[in-house]
Structure 1
């Protein structure tokens, strides 16, 4: 969801009026300014017993035609392919924003949506990965600590960007303002363009 107004009252009223939203599920609100969400919206989410994490971010997109034309690179000693359900536990364990999610939910996303993983050729170990996560776009990019600075993040991003476009989705990412490494990867290495800036609020329901 995106916010189209700076009016505290209008935002809270609009979100409350949209009956189709199940605030107990994952909902992402992007407010197009680098500041926290208006107090009225915070109060509304609290009444709906919704919690979440909030962070300033920029949204970047790769034009679909560019994604289709990507040439997937090769790196000695590894290969890249889609993830499988058996990889859900590792992805879940390494994701810092896993609160509100479950291993089963990650497994379902792997089964239903595009994903990419870099595997070692000698033992098929998964060392880097990325998923397409609705509604947050390309997300959960992670490389195991001991395998960083080898080009694996760029490789999974190439592979996933092309798969996302082939599946009829738009390759886009939300990048935290302090995540300079991801900003450099997506803009300088991959050619993503900034679409907008804002503040992202990722919701999940209160624990029972």
Structure 2
């Protein structure tokens, strides 16, 4: 997606929820639900929130997050998650749209990384206007 396309993404907020900025205090919640969680990821997530940005959704008049997304170290969106009992309500789409628009307004090329087996997220991102441009491989080194 180009910056211009990102600027044209329509935000679709919902009246029953509030969209807020992620704060460092949200990092443990994000970490506990992240598929790639290790004993070291909490510091990584705190860094993403502190040095980049992220957005969360909470129900109006509630404090607990029900969904979130963050800009990762490589500049794109990641860690998108909606708690199971709040899925199928468009919250993930709302977050990806917000992240996309925010990146574009900052003159950053909007991008996301999605697991190749995550068909729901792939469809969601394609619906917003993203397209697959390459495969990314992660290499993990473990200290023994």
C-alpha RMSD of the superposition: 1.8
- The answer on 1:184 being equivalent to 2:123 is yes
Determine the structure 1 residue equivalent to 2:12.
Answer: 73
Q: Match for 1:129 among 68, 79, 101?
A: 68
Structure with greater strand percent: 1
Q: Which has the greater radius of gyration?
A: 1
Q: Match for 2:112 among 163, 173, 180?
A: 173
Question: Structure 2: 5+ residue runs without aligned partners?
Answer: none
* TM-score, scaled to structure 1: 0.64
- How many aligned positions are there? 144
8 Å Cα contact 1:131/1:139 also seen in 2:
yes
User: Equivalent residues in 2 for 1:80-91 (5 A)?
Assistant: 80-91=19-30
4+ residue segments displaced more than 6 Å: none
Q: Match for 1:164 among 93, 103, 106?
A: 103
User: Equivalent residues in 2 for 1:1-208 (5 A)?
Assistant: 62-99=1-38, 101-135=40-74, 137-188=76-127, 190-196=128-134, 198=135, 200-208=136-144
Q: Distance in 2 between matches of 1:203 and 1:100?
A: 17
* TM-score, scaled to structure 2: 0.89
Larger relative contact order, structure 1 or 2 (CA cutoff 8 Å, min sep 6): 1
Query: 1:63, CA displacement in angstroms?
Result: 1.7
Question: Structure 1: 5+ residue runs without aligned partners?
Answer: 1-61
